[in-house]
């Protein structure tokens, strides 16, 4: 991984992907993405009864980029989408409706109708949505797509509040341990023979594997209870969500899909005995370690004795890291202007600042690194998931271009493919209301 990354950084400079006019780019390691997808598939193949259908639906929010969705589809993955935009991206990538799952806590009637018309599986979030869905399904015995209900097993949170979806008061799903909720869910399935799935996503980064497996166990036990109550295998699929945490501290991939699948098998053996189809929704763990943000140091200065590298990577793309640095620390590597690692012995604690006009726009504080100079580069590691799709439009800074790379050739040649063009200033002006420039002036 590190070797491919170093080759790609060098080649990105040599091939002019980065320069004074393009001071920040995103890079994606295609071999790393393919390997992660293969590991996910293998981990579950090892634990399921042979022949059990398993759909690994990539959580599009983690990398809302059509070529990435296409690459993952080539690797046998589908898509989990949570908005009309994400659904459109999945379709643009050629992912077929039978390989898409729609989750979102605020689906409109039009979105529900569209999913049903297209034959896309969806998970209702709450009783009101289930009623809406019931009206759309009408008297059909067989709805055009598999329909499920999301539950919140309320097993607790992880170390990052904002990523913990199974707390007592989380906004997602039916809170299973609330008074009367379990009985309601059992009845809801008994009254709706077309409801055939249960969904639980316990949380994302910061959630220990034991917490995630406890939540999935709760969903499995509920499915067993419901099927027992109705006297048939009405629930025939369990959607166990995503959430495998990512190690942001080194190149080591830990925990692995294999560890998670093995723990699931020992905690919830019945999940894998062939009676339930499975859906997973991993996002971060599939992409994070294959991504890198590369940015030029525009100036190197100092304030109050603290060296500061002013770069072009800040809150506009590392939004969570800047606003919640404790929860989302990133590794930073220093490169010279040619893209060679700067490995001088003496490391100097420095702030790595971004281009945004507010003081807190720092992706790392007091970080020991070889001293950076104007024209050098910084690499923000493990940024393949969420960093390229959570852009923050502050200061009207453009979304950077993203390039995939293949750095596996024996002769050292690195090939790039465009994933997304950099946003242009004209595009920013257009999406900022340029067509309506006189709109306000005409009002009193």
Ligand X SMILES: Cc1ncc(COP(=O)(O)O)c(C=O)c1O
List residues near ligand X by CB under 6 A.
59, 62, 80, 103, 201, 204-205, 241-244, 281-285
Write the CB contacts of 112 (distance below 8 Å, at least 6 apart in sequence). Answer: 122, 129, 132, 133, 136
CB-based burial, 81-116: b 16+ in 10 Å, e otherwise: bbbbebbebbbebebebebbbbbbeebeeebbeebb
In angstroms, give the least distance from the CB of 59 to ligand X: 3
State the DSSP H helix or E strand holding residue 257, giving kind and residue range, or none if neither: helix 257-267
Residue at shortest CB range from ligand X:
283
- How many Å apart are CA 162 and CA 300, to the nearest integer? 34
- C-beta closer to ligand X: residue 100 or 297: 100
- C-beta closer to ligand X: residue 242 or 401: 242
- How many Å apart are CA 133 and CA 116, to the nearest integer? 9
In angstroms, give the least distance from the CB of 309 to ligand X: 30
- C-beta closer to ligand X: residue 201 or 403: 201
- C-beta closer to ligand X: residue 85 or 368: 85
In angstroms, give the least distance from the CB of 68 to ligand X: 13
- Dump strand ranges (E) for 8-50: 24-29
CA distances from 416 to 14, 22, 129, 403 (A): 12, 16, 44, 6
- C-beta closer to ligand X: residue 204 or 370: 204
- How many Å apart are CA 364 and CA 421, to the nearest integer? 27
In angstroms, give the least distance from the CB of 60 to ligand X: 9
Sign of the C-alpha dihedral computed for residues 123, 125, 129 and 130 taken in this order: positive
Q: Phi/psi of residue 294, each to 5°? A: -120, 125
State the DSSP H helix or E strand holding residue 128, giving kind and residue range, or none if neither: helix 127-137
> If you compute the radius of gyration of the chain from its CA atoms, what whole number of angstroms results?
24
Contact 240, 166 (CB under 8 A): no
- C-beta closer to ligand X: residue 237 or 362: 237
- C-beta closer to ligand X: residue 211 or 397: 211
List residues bridging with 29 in a β-sheet: 405
In angstroms, give the least distance from the CB of 320 to ligand X: 12
In angstroms, give the least distance from the CB of 192 to ligand X: 21
In angstroms, give the least distance from the CB of 56 to ligand X: 11
Residue 256, helix vs strand vs coil? coil
- C-beta closer to ligand X: residue 101 or 271: 101
In angstroms, give the least distance from the CB of 244 to ligand X: 6
List residues bridging with 299 in a β-sheet: 310
């Amino acid at each position: 991984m590190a070797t491919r990354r170093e080759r790609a950084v060098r080649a990105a400079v040599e091939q002019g992907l980065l320069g004074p006019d393009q001071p920040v780019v995103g890079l994606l390691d295609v071999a790393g993405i393919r390997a992660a997808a293969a590991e996910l598939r293998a981990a579950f193949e090892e634990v399921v009864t042979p022949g059990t259908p398993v759909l690994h639906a990539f959580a599009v929010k983690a990398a809302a980029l059509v070529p990435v969705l296409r690459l993952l589809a080539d690797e046998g993955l589908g898509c989990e989408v949570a908005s009309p935009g994400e659904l459109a991206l999945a379709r643009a990538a050629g992912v077929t409706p039978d390989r898409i799952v729609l989750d979102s806590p605020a689906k409109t009637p039009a979105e529900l109708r569209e999913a049903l018309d297209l034959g896309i599986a969806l998970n209702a979030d709450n009783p009101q949505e289930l009623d809406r869905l019931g009206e759309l399904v009408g008297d059909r015995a067989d709805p055009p797509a598999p329909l499920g209900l999301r539950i919140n097993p309320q097993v607790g949170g992880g170390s990052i509040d904002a990523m913990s979806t199974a707390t007592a008061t989380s906004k997602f799903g039916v809170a299973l341990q609330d008074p009367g909720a379990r009985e309601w869910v059992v009845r809801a399935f008994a009254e709706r023979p077309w409801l055939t799935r249960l969904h639980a996503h316990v949380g994302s980064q910061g959630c220990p594997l034991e917490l995630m497996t406890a939540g999935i166990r709760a969903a499995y036990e509920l499915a067993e209870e419901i099927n027992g109550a109705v006297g048939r295998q009405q629930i025939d699929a369990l959607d166990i969500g995503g959430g495998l945490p990512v190690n942001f501290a080194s190149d080591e991939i830990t925990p692995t899909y294999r560890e998670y699948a093995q723990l699931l098998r020992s905690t919830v053996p019945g999940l894998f005995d062939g009676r339930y189809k499975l859906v997973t929704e991993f996002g971060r763990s599939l992409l994070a370690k294959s991504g890198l943000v590369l940015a030029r140091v525009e100036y190197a200065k100092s304030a109050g004795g603290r060296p500061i590298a002013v770069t072009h990577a800040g809150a506009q793309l590392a939004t969570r890291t800047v606003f919640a640095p404790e929860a989302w620390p990133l590794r930073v590597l220093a490169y010279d202007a040619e893209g060679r690692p700067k490995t001088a012995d003496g490391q100097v604690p420095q702030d790595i600042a971004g281009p945004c006009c507010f003081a807190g726009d720092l992706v790392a504080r007091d970080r020991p690194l070889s001293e950076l100079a104007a024209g050098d580069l910084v690499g923000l590691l493990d940024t393949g998931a969420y960093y390229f799709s959570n852009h923050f439009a502050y200061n009207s800074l453009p979304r950077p271009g993203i390039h995939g790379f293949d750095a596996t050739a024996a002769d050292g040649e690195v090939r790039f493919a465009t994933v997304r063009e950099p946003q242009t200033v004209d595009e920013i002006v257009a999406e900022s209301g340029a067509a309506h420039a006189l709109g306000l002036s005409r009002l009193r």
